[in-house]
Amino acid sequence: MTLKKWTALALALLIPTSAMAHRTWFLPSSTVLSGDDVWVTVDAAAANEVFYFDHRPLRLEDLVIAAPDGSSVEPQNMAEGRLRNSFDLNLKQQGTYRVSLVSDGVFAFYKVNGEQKRWRGQASEIETAIPKDAEDVRISESARRVDTFVTVGAPTDETVKTSGKGLEIEYGVHPNDLFAGETASFRLLMNGKPAKGVVVSVIRDGIRYRNALNEMKVTTGDDGSFDVTWPEAGMYWLNATMESKETSVPRSSGSRAGYTATLEVLPQ
């Protein structure tokens, strides 16, 4: 990858999601099913619009799938396209599955003998990765999580629990138990602590077929809490990003974290 392209990638991960033209998301073929041996297909993309494939596929190197009992599930029939990636899931257990893309890392730009260098890796590696004589060192941290949930039979809670790492949502209502006209309560957490004063964006599918985006924005309270009243049934894209001066890396200018979820709201 050229320096120009690598720099663009690093900057893209650090720009607030609200300012980015492309939204990342999963789109499952179903979120609530019944049966003993069922299948779901999940599409993954980054696009200008919500749930329309018009830009590029979402890379799946950091894909993590958890079964209701907490065990890992391997995706099947993975396919890479020009506008989307996709995979199948064979859901053999009763309960709630969590499909996640979890990534974090450190970006560094520096000079050695006047030559521009760059590095990307984990926080634990940076002290040995950057030469002691490096100049004009610029370091930043980035983390993101992209989620969706699929339930077979009755919803379960094991896979919905937060990990205490990065930006996450504590679901007051199960993510596969959302209904039009009802209000759901959530809490936004950063490393397990309340993320207050963060703007959360919620957009319903079908924006191609309406004149207005109809984006709902809510701001988290002191305890990280926020409520969303679902105006109608459909797939919803929920996103939050936040900046912090707290870092785990010396000389870092700060960190940025993002959380995105695809949630299906069912009719009453």
Burial of 97 (0-12, 13-18, 19+ CB in 10 A): buried
Domain coordinates in residue numbering, the chain = 3-105+139-265
Query: Which residues, at least 6 apart from 132, have a Cβ–Cβ distance to it below 8 Å?
Result: none
Whether pLDDT at 152 is above 50: yes
Query: Which pTM does this prediction carry?
Result: 0.84
pLDDT 10s digits, 11-69: 444 433 333 448 999 999 999 999 998 999 999 999 988 999 999 999 999 999 999 99
Q: Name which of 105, 98, 92 is nearest 64 in CA terms.
A: 98
Instruction: Name the DSSP letter for residue 120.
Output: E
Alpha-carbon distance of 110 to 139, in angstroms, equals 9
List helix spans (H) across 130-171.
none
Q: Name which of 199, 210, 178 is nearest 52 in CA terms.
A: 210
- The fold of the 3-105+139-265 domain, in CATH, is Immunoglobulin-like (2.60.40)
Whether pLDDT at 108 is above 60: yes
Q: How many CA atoms lie within 13 A of 43 on its CB side?
A: 17
Tokens 């069912």 correspond to 266
Alpha-carbon distance of 263 to 27, in angstroms, equals 9
pLDDT of residue 13: 41
Instruction: Name the DSSP letter for residue 111.
Output: E
As a 3-state breakdown, the chain gives helix, strand, coil percent values, each rounded to 5, of: 10, 50, 40
| Helices and strands (DSSP H and E) totals, the chain | 2, 18
Angstrom CA distances, 222 to 60, 96, 196, stand at 34, 30, 5
CB-based burial, 24-55: b 16+ in 10 Å, e otherwise: bbbbbeebbbeeeeeebebbbbbbebbbbbeb
pLDDT confidence bin for 125, thresholds 50/70/90: confident
Q: How many CA atoms lie within 13 A of 221 on its CB side?
A: 7
pLDDT of residue 223: 98
Whether pLDDT at 248 is above 70: no
CA 266 from chain centre, in angstroms, equals: 22
Pair type for strands 76-80 and 85-91: antiparallel
CA 129 from chain centre, in angstroms, equals: 28
Alpha-carbon distance of 150 to 31, in angstroms, equals 4
Q: How open is the CA angle 124-126-129, to the nearest 5 degrees?
A: 125
Coil, helix or strand at residue 126: helix
- Dihedrals φ, ψ of 207, to 5°? -65, -20
Higher pLDDT, 233 or 108: 233
Coil, helix or strand at residue 209: helix
pLDDT 10s digits, 195-216: 999 999 999 999 989 999 999 9
Proportion of the chain above pLDDT 90, given as a percent: 69
- Could you tell me how many residues make up the chain? 268
